[in-house]
Chains A and B, each alone.
Chain A
Amino acid sequence: MLHGVSAEPAVAAESLTVVRGDTEVLHGLSFAVPRGGITGLLGPSGCGKTTLMRCVVGVQVIESGGVDVLGAPAGAAELRARVGYVTQAPSVYGDITVGENLRYFARVLGADGARVSEVINTVALHEHDRVANKLSGGQRSRISLATALLAEPDLLVLDEPTVGLDPVLRVELWNTFTSLAEAGTTLLVSSHVMDEAERCDSLLLMRDGDLLATETPDGLRSRTGEQDLEAAFLALIKEREAV
């Protein structure tokens, strides 16, 4: 690896297959997410990004194959304080205040009270005395993100954290992700907007429950000869269909 850190990946999946109802939604995926940095999980809506993230967090019933996270099977009890998960729809208690939400989860996680103000600052949420339901969707997503930061997890799994946010806030959040990565956290962030791929250190490109490529943004450019990542993704799909 670049900085000579341990080569053991943060996430390692082997032939991961998931069936929901009658349909197979993940078709035997194998991939690795390196430790440190931001890995982007990109692909169109409905391609299986959320299911893949649920596997990494250990809340998804898996048909076959497996995922190891930080050296333990995904969902293992010892990982519960080390992995933070932010679902696409903010999971917060709408009828209590931001502070009450965070203080509750902090007590569940065994984090101290000072940590609550720290995470509120990290996500730049200044309305901590307001009831969550009175806030905008973007603000509620940030409560959800702040909750995941409470335990200072080694791995943060974020499902479309910037969807529906205004552009300024999106840039701010990506700056937050970058500084978290610089502080040593591994981030796995899903998105269906290719311009966010630019902010990632490595990419997992998905389509229809399959993995098209595991690349760095630059690697993707040189492999396809396209400068624009959106065009590179399209070229990759064509290349796949031509085979």
Chain B
Amino acid sequence: MSPRITIATATRVLTQLRRDPRTIALLLVIPAALLTLIKFVFDDSPGAFDRIGGPLVGLFPFITMFLVTSITMLRERTTGTLERLMTMPLAKLDILAGYGLAFGLVGTLQALITSGVAFGLLDLEVAGSTAVVILLAIGNALLGMSLGLFVSAFAQTEFQAIQFMPAFVFPQLLLCGLFVARDQMAAALEAVSYALPLTYAYDALDRVTSDGSLGGRGTLDVLVTCGVILLALALGAATLRRRTA
């Protein structure tokens, strides 16, 4: 791997984004706007917003980063630029790390704006430290990004890539514990939830917002999430082929 190529790739991806101001605006504004909507939806039941608002600060960046990275990477695959890069002297991880760096920065910015709005304007209150919630939100953005990079290999068109959102992300959202606590689910579903990365990301967020600290289990959650990010990047690199049929 070469830092020169990784940084060049990240700069190029950010330049592409910069030329598309509408996407930047959508990326940065939508999570905060949705959180505001939820605040007013739960206007009559105080406490509910505090309970789900904290985890959502992290889950929104997960969802948007998943979508944006899977589409961008798919575009790189379908326009021939990926094949061109594969004929050049660079490591596969240079490309993925470049993407990771670029979208990691965007995800961080998005998480900062979302949590800024949540804690500053919407009076979201969490039991634990807001700084930890923000860090976990950044981690969620990175998780969404790495999974998006990986699954983009299985889409041939942008229509397919968009369908991965309901196919791949919604089941994780349903089973992660946000809607129903996992120990109240059918045993089979609870077992499945252990195999889904978002379960761990959500659990860490929930512990900080409800219990006030990560504790032993929460720390384990964070480690599992980091492991999944690295694994997805490695698997993503494995799907980049120098030779194709």
Contact = CB atoms under 8 A, between A and B. Distances in A.
B242 A58 contact: yes
Contacts of B87: 57-59, 80, 83, 85
B34 interface: no
Interface residues of A, number: 32
Nearest to A131: B19
Interface stretch (B4-12, B44-52, B116-124): B4-12
B155 to A, nearest CB: 19
Contacts, number: 78
B8 to A, nearest CB: 4
B184 interface: no
Contacts of B86: 59
Interface string A57-77: 111110000000000000101
Nearest to A101: B12
Contact of B81 (A20, A93, A107): A93
Contacts of A58: 87, 242-243
Interface string B228-245: 000000000000001111
A92 B16 contact: no
B8 A104 contact: yes
Contacts of B5: 107-108
A96 B16 contact: yes
Interface in B74-114: 79-81, 83-90
B15 interface: yes
A95 B88 contact: no
B19 A81 contact: no
B80 A91 contact: yes
B79 A91 contact: yes
B183 interface: no
A21 B245 CA distance: 8
Nearest to A85: B87
A94 B8 CA distance: 17
Given A81-B88, A108-B85, A61 B245 contact: yes
Contact of A110 (B4, B11, B15): B4
A185 interface: no
A109 interface: yes
Interface string A161-185: 0000000000000000000000000
Contacts of A152: none
A60 B245 CA distance: 6
Interface string A121-162: 000000000010000000000000001000100000000000
B90 A108 contact: yes
A100 interface: yes
Interface of B: 4-5, 8-9, 11-12, 15-16, 19-20, 79-81, 83-90, 242-245
Interface of A: 20-21, 57-61, 75, 77, 80-81, 83, 85, 87, 89-96, 100, 104-105, 107-110, 131, 147, 151
7 contacts: A58-B243, A59-B242, A59-B244, A91-B79, A91-B81, A93-B12, A104-B9
